[in-house]
Structure 1
Amino acid sequence: MLRMFNTINGSVEQIEKIESGAWLCLSEPTDVELATVAQQTGIDLADLRAPLDDEERSRVDAEDDYTMIIVDIPTVEERGGRDWYETIPLSIIITQNMIITVCMQDTPVLHPFMEGRIRGFNTYMKSRFILQILYRNATMYLRYLRIIDRESDRLELRLRHSMQNREILMLLELSKTLVYFTTSLKSNEIVMEKLNSITRFKQYPEDEDLLDDVITENKQAIEMANIYSGVLANMTDAFASIVSNNLNNVMRIFTIISITLSIPTLIFSMYGMNFQQGGMLGMPLTADRWGFVIVVVISIALSIVVTWFLTRSRLFK
């Protein structure tokens, strides 16, 4: 989808034709839209297609007529009725007359710009526009990181009462998301550092504070992602130990039951093989009228004594 915007009388309005100072937003673009933009702006079609690869790395490429900046942005993907977070590349291309953004999805990072809700946003001020996008991107990371933190807290409460594979797999999915976030944020930090060394990236004097805010927010997001990753890693190890301990408790119970049942089994198996025949002496109580009852009582008594001993033994605590 190709949408074009321009600042007219201080407000952002959508336009129908490419104009000088316009912003071209390509979201989930078709081949026809990419070819049209490439033909009318002189941008290499391969550069326009670059952010459509979800494995594209963050970087800054300076060509003769334009500069391409690729950063990783957070996005939400619905799987199994739940929201999962990942990162995708966003390309920002600056030419002499306009700015172009390309993304494989209609990202919420750019929605406030389209709706004119960003203070001081002007399509003509390209360098400020880039900094505003980077600032908005860093705040989106922080927002999703807080959501992930709350989700991990809910999982922790559920794991205390349930040790099903579903909760543990969700915990591992969150850990994987944090690894993606940390890697993407560090790559974006390198891009920001490189922007300062590009001479064609002209900054307005009032944008210095904005650049400092962008760097600060990005570093804060990196620190939060590292902290949450450490917490989730420790939580995963702790619950793995709990699962192992619960398994040991179950095996302890089954071992006690198995040893207890082996006593009457042993007694009755011996009585099943030995009996009084002729003048030979067989097993005790075989000739007694109440022999069977006495043997059962003895077996039960021995089982109770063994069970009492095992439940208090250090080997089974």
Structure 2
Amino acid sequence: MTIHPPAPALTIPSYADMLAAADRIAPHIRRTPVRVSDYLNRLTGADLFFKCEMFQEPGAFKLRGAANAVFGLSEAQASKGVATHSSGNHASCLSYAAMLRGIPCHVVMPRTAPQAKKDTVRRYGGVITECEPSTTSREATFAEVQAATGGDFVHPYNDPRVIAGQGTCSKELVEQTGGLDAVVAPIGGGGMISGACLTLATLAPTCKVIAAEPEQADDACRSFRAGRLIADDAPETVADGLKVPLKDLTWHFVRNHVSEIYTASEDEIVNAMKLIWKHLRVVAEPSSAVPLATILKNRNAFAGKRVGVILTGGNVDLDKLPWT
């Protein structure tokens, strides 16, 4: 794969930044478990190791990046709090990290975000301003909120502090499994995938990073194929956490380090979600199920390999499950 130099304006986090993040956030996060299933191994023909990030206190991996950003602020910066826009998991995780530090958190969320995620944000003290369910509306509304509050902007994924924090997940996964041939994670904005690329390029350079995306929100896949950024404004998919587009920083990692992007249909995602609930006995939200859906769809690419699968979160609205 051709390596493209980063744009001069980008601040690319380093492996050392990831290690610093691991030390910084250690008191505030959980070292989540890795689960295996004999049934899912037989079904796919691979040895699958599921990293269960739903066991973070707010229910998602995004606590890693949020905690790194919040606890990396100076006292002067922290006094004004933090602000962000998010469909849910970053919002709740940033609110939780801000609560731990005792600072304000203002969040812009789509009005269509799952009620369970809104409830979690408010439980942790986050102040929500709703917007229409599009990237354009989200960013415009956020500009108004940040101007009014002065909070430090912690982008959900296009932030070097966030990417360095998310990279700690892959560090743990490699340590817990003793080595992998590939790591598969969902891709929306690309924060988790970028963190995996950042970590594995140094820690396990032979390990492939593979992204998984809904067919109905496949802008990252189309960008990957075209070699340039392609953004959808308001895609519709059951995997609500994967509706946002790549940005310049995450695109840098995707185009330089990701080996492949696979997609799955809505039915395939829901089926994989059911399999995770049934055979791993953990609650995974639709976005978390996309990697397993793509592995099942592309079994020949994974057969006989040791594959890490990052289950990114478990925040679901139990009154609106996708199969009811």
Q: For this structure pair, what is the TM-score category when the shorter chain's length is used for normalisation? A: under 0.3
Q: Which has the higher contact order (CA 8 A, sep 6+)?
A: 2
* TM-score with structure 1 setting the length: 0.25
* TM-score with structure 2 setting the length: 0.25
Bigger radius of gyration among the two: 1
Which structure's residues are more often helix, by fraction?
A: 1
